[in-house]
A and B are shown apart, each in its own frame.
Chain A
Amino acid sequence: MAGLNSILELAKRSLNANQYGIGVTSHNISNASVPGYSRQRLNLAASVAEKTQFGYVGTGVTIQTVQRLRESYIDQQIYTVNANLGNSAQRGKVLQLAESFFQEPSDSGLNAMMQGVFNAFQNLSTHPEESSSRNAVLQKAAMMTDSFHRVADGLKSMKADSFEEINSKVEKINSLIKTISDLNATIAGASAQGLKPNDVMDQRDTKLAELSKLVNLRVTEDKNGFVTASIAGTTIIANGTYTEVKANSAGSSIVITPANSSMQVNVTEGELGGLLTLYNSTIPGYQTKLDDVAQSIITEVNTVHMMGYGLGTPPPTGMNFFSGTDASTIDVDPFISQNINTIAASKDGSPGNNEIATQIAELQNKKVLNGSSNTIFQYYNGMVSNLGSEIEGLNTDVDSHNLVLNQLDVQQNSVAGVSLDEEMTNLIKFQHGFDASARIINAVNEMYKTIIDMV
């Protein structure tokens, strides 16, 4: 039977439950803008009723759990999109820098500089005797080789920067792996006592999201909230242990392996995946193409120039115009730059003959690259517009990934986000619940008084 004592006890528990409710609500309100915070809910249930001769009489409320509301399925989706976004964004960022080296389309780009050289040879063909037109050839050629050096140096330092960046990302990954594993251990410890450490789990999930921006991450969570994580199929966090990763130079490329093994971890996504693609294939690809252009100019111009004659008695012949072998080493041959009369314009040694100058100028229309299917300019323009398309594609990827991510965030937020309106309503609810419970105690108190007064 519901004695006064048990009602007092019931009211106390009710008071307590509402107080906890206000506690959880204020915890939610204070963390409303904390990134990664998942809202918590106080789960209450009616306590086991007491059987009486009249039927079951309720015994009040019991607190069951403080539950964390979060959809781990959406988190997994977010990890995947994060990895794709990280990859596209990283590559887009770096390639935009590369694009700026080329300065196309403009009058200071490599295209304009190469045209400058061929035009200077055209000009020389109308004035093969004059030193002014020879000087112009030399100046334009020097401007062009400078541009080649500038772009080649840019690409080279870009590659070096990517190397640094890869190392710093690997460091970050390792520190995240360790943190996540530590948090995992804390969660496991608490779970063993049957309690879910909600805020620690939030922290761990935030770290996992951070890690997912860097690599393709796969996470599975068991019923105790314990996670197993793998990067590109290689398990890195499991059963309370973790494995760090490291970057190894293999020839001219970099491969990622676990710290304790030589088995390659094929990181394709995330910022690290993007950087590896850049370092291992994209940047070397553009370097090779640029070198192809420089190399064809060197060989083609030299082959023709070698057959021609400069000014003088006897006219100098058999000279190279360019020295070097690629975009970083291309230069006007020192003999030429020291004596402009060694520039060959004539085919037979007579000063007015312009056939070699014309032939060199005509090289711009010769299909010498890409298996003799592209002129130097077609090849170069193809490379530039290819770079442009690549960046355009990556920008589109970034936009669409952002859109998806935004949508996923909205979805996760609809589960895990704190709504202040809701919390305020809960606050009012719990507050009134508290007041009412207090009123019960008051009533019981008065009832005691009445009884005592009767004595």
Chain B
Amino acid sequence: MRVTEGTIASGYLFTVNQTRERIVKLQTQLATGKILQKPSDDPETADTVLRLKESQNARTQFQSNALEGQGMTDATASTLGQFADILINLKNVVVKAGGSANSEDLKTYAESVDQILTESVDLANTKFNGKYLLGGTETLVPPYTLAADKASVAKNPNGIDGIIKYQVAEGSYIQANLNGEDALQGTQIFNLMIQVRDALNTGTFTSPAFIDSVEQATQHVLNASSTAASYAEHFDAVHSNLEEQKNQLEQYLSITQDTDVAEATMKLKHEEVMLDAALNTGGRIIPKSLLDFLR
């Protein structure tokens, strides 16, 4: 084939340009640490990266949900634990009152029970993070109201039986509250306290029947407390599980999108050698001409 100066020059430029293009690509990969900067660098990988990031993002959000849920249910469990303690106090009072016939003493016990009632209503209206824990979904209104004359306890007329669930995985929910109906049997326990107090005040008090009722109530609240605790544990377990999943995703994401520095450096070195060779030969061959040898 006839080879002219033009052929050599354009062929030389073409190859040098191609080498430089590859060098730029490798250099960007090394500088950014990512093998793809835009989808067209590698559309399939880009799709994978987007999906992995979504999964990771969703898990981070679920983790945050689980953490919130754990806080709520832990607080509920401990509130109910305290409530059970109060009921144990009540039982002590009821037992003691059963051994006494003195109406003065009974009045004192009645006052204790009255105290217990106020205390327990306050406890049942515990707030956590600005929400009434036992109010169901009516989180902004105290679930229980003690009448001014303390003759009755009323629940929020909108109902306190709402259930709140937090999402912890796609399609998977964990209950994040125990409402007043489930935990305290509505107003039943408070009514029991009122009955005890009134019986003590009026002298119609008979210990054994009340002891049974109080014990049943205590057991119920303790059960509720452990239910709440088990929800909290569930949230906790999910949280650690999500953490693990996130770590795995992180690893996978890194394998997918991060530059293998060693490999890229090797390739870059190779391209550098190619470029050197091209420039060197080009520099030697292109200027050569017959003119060099004519006088």
Contact = CB atoms under 8 A, between A and B. Distances in A.
Contacts of A99: 38-40
A352 B64 contact: no
Contacts of B99: none
Contacts of A354: 137, 164-166
Nearest to B57: A115
Contacts of A111: 50, 53-54
Given A105-B46, A385-B44, A419-B4, A350 B137 contact: yes
Interface string B38-54: 11111110110111011
A201 interface: no
A167 B140 CA distance: 65
B11 interface: yes
B196 to A, nearest CB: 32
B81 interface: no
B61 A123 contact: yes
B137 A420 contact: no
A433 interface: no
A373 interface: no
B135 A352 contact: yes
B167 A122 contact: yes
Given A125-B65, A418-B6, A387 B131 contact: no
Nearest to B47: A385
Given A119-B57, A413-B4, A391 B40 contact: yes
A406 B291 contact: no
Interface string B55-78: 001100110110011000000000
B38 A104 contact: yes
Given A353-B164, A424-B291, A346 B46 contact: no
B43 A350 contact: no
A388 B3 contact: no
A410 interface: yes
Nearest to A406: B14
A381 B51 contact: yes
Interface in B254-295: 257, 289-291, 294
B95 to A, nearest CB: 38
Interface string B152-182: 0000001100101111001101001100000
A422 B50 CA distance: 60
B10 A406 contact: yes
A385 B2 contact: no
A415 B4 CA distance: 9
Interface string A78-120: 0000000000000000001001101011000001100100010
Contact of A352 (B36, B164, B289): B164
A21 B158 CA distance: 110
Nearest to A391: B40
Nearest to A394: B40
Contacts of A390: 40
A409 interface: yes
Interface in A398-442: 402, 406, 409-410, 413-415, 417-422, 424-425, 428
A350 B38 CA distance: 46
A453 to B, nearest CB: 39
A377 interface: yes
A105 B49 contact: yes
B5 interface: yes
A126 B165 CA distance: 9
Given A387-B40, A419-B3, A365 B130 contact: no
Contacts of B40: 96, 99, 387-392, 395
Nearest to A103: B38
A301 interface: no
Nearest to A130: B130
Nearest to B138: A350
A358 B167 contact: yes
A417 B6 contact: yes
Contacts of A351: 137-140
A217 interface: no
A273 B23 CA distance: 32
B170 A365 contact: yes
B64 A385 contact: no
A220 to B, nearest CB: 27
Contacts of A129: 130-131, 139-140
Contacts of A102: 39
Given A129-B130, A384-B39, A122 B65 contact: yes
Interface in B1-27: 1-7, 10-11, 14
B197 to A, nearest CB: 31
A130 B131 CA distance: 9
A410 B13 CA distance: 13
A50 interface: no
Interface in A331-354: 346, 348, 350-354
Given A102-B39, A126-B65, A362-B170, 11 more contacts: A111-B54, A128-B139, A129-B139, A352-B135, A352-B140, A365-B171, A381-B50, A385-B50, A388-B39, A388-B46, A410-B7
Top 4 A-B pairs, shortest CB-CB distance: A388-B39, A352-B139, A388-B43, A391-B40
13 contacts: A96-B38, A128-B139, A352-B162, A358-B167, A377-B54, A381-B47, A381-B51, A385-B39, A388-B43, A388-B46, A391-B39, A392-B43, A420-B289
